[in-house]
Amino acid sequence: MKVYAFDVDETLYLSHGPVQWQALVALRAEGHVLGLCGNWAAVTLQVPEWHCVLSFIGPGLIGTDKANFLTIIKQYVPAEEHVMVGNDHSLRAYALLDDRRAADAAGWRFISEGALAAGGR
């Protein structure tokens, strides 16, 4: 089992990104733990059954940044691997925080939103 944390803005399709909600549903059906690490309200307000797919949302709810939030999840949610899906500033300019750097700081593997949308895991 893997733990996946998804950025929302410019990552998920419902917030101008390439990753379709169905990709999250499929990962959950495979037995992985999923959560949001970013603008979670964009999901909870648009997807009525979000709680059937996601196990955690943050980091704003606990008043911390992405790197610390990912560190906390990794500490208390054991898994074979922890994977952050989001924006990589080295690929193009983003207005939001660099998810790759947050993943690296927390010891998570990073995959870009485009790579996951193309079938990467």
pLDDT (tens digit, 9 = 90+) per residue, 56-115? Answer: 999 987 788 999 999 999 999 999 999 999 987 666 655 455 898 899 999 999 999 999
> Count of CB atoms within 10 A of residue 102's CB?
26
Contacts of 22 (CB under 8 A, 6+ apart): none
pLDDT (tens digit, 9 = 90+) per residue, 41-71? Answer: 999 999 999 999 999 999 987 788 999 999 9
DSSP state of 50: G
Q: What are phi and psi of 49, to 5 degrees?
A: -100, 25
> Count of CB atoms within 10 A of residue 14's CB?
16
What single string gives the DSSP state of each residue in 97-111?
--HHHHHHHHT-EEE
**Which pTM was predicted?**
0.91
Q: What residue ranges define each of the domains in the chain, with the CATH number in brackets? A: 2-115 (3.40.50.1000)
